[in-house]
């Protein structure tokens, strides 16, 4: 992974509002602490220069706690980057469960992707655990591939 990919990955994680630790980032990317600090500095510089017509609101910043932890604060002020709440995620998973349109593999793939962006995965898992255990989709074949095919045909103005 090159430096641009690493910084983009860090930025996207900061956008979730979760706290990132320098130690975890060092281990994951196999980089020194100074490299991670520099990456955070570059990200903050871009935010300061490029967001909201070159002015970052005073209420939005990368918080450093002095122990190697970083967190983008007050992300809810970024209208362009609104994110799903845990309640939204729970609702979407419940809708996926109730339709039973996807086979088991596709359902678990989609629900795991939604859970990955949740703030409190364990709480959501408590609400969906029983249904997940007994989930039986109606489709025996993969539906997602068909949906992608239709989507691409529409975008490319092609007939199916």
From the centroid of its chain, how far is CA 85?
A: 11
Q: Is 99 helix (H, G, I), strand (E, B) or coil?
A: helix
| Higher pLDDT pick, 144 / 67 | 144
What is the pLDDT, as a whole number, of residue 80? 45
Whether 72 has a pLDDT exceeding 90, the answer reads: no
DSSP H helical segments within the chain, as ranges? 3-15, 22-29, 33-50, 86-99, 104-116, 121-133, 144-155
| Higher pLDDT pick, 20 / 58 | 20
Phi-psi category of 52—alpha, beta or left, where left has phi over 0 and alpha has psi -120 to 50?
left
What is the pLDDT, as a whole number, of residue 76? 52
pTM more than 0.75: no
118-136 average pLDDT score: 90
* All structural domains of the chain: 3-81 (1.10.10.10), 86-155 (no CATH)
- Quote the radius of gyration of the chain (alpha carbons, Å): 20
Is there a contact between 20 and 11 (Cβ–Cβ < 8 Å)? no
Q: Which of 151, 117, 111 is nearest to 131 (CA)?
A: 111
What is the pLDDT, as a whole number, of residue 58? 53
What is the pLDDT confidence band of residue 82, given thresholds at 50, 70 and 90? low
């Amino acid at each position: 992974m090159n430096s641009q990919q690493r910084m983009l990955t860090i930025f996207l994680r900061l956008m979730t509002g979760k706290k990132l630790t320098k130690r975890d980032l060092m281990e994951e990317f196999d980089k020194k602490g100074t490299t991670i600090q520099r990456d955070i500095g570059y990200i903050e510089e871009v935010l300061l220069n490029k967001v909201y017509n070159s002015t970052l609101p005073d209420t939005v910043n990368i918080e450093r706690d002095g122990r190697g932890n970083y967190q983008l604060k007050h992300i809810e002020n970024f209208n362009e980057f609104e994110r799903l709440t845990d309640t939204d995620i729970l609702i979407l998973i419940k809708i996926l469960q109730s339709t039973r349109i996807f086979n088991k593999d596709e359902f678990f793939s989609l629900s795991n992707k939604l859970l990955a962006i949740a703030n409190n995965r364990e709480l959501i898992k408590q609400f969906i655990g029983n249904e997940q255990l007994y989930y039986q989709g109606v489709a025996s074949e993969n539906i997602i591939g068909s949906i992608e095919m239709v989507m691409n045909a529409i975008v490319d103005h092609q007939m199916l």
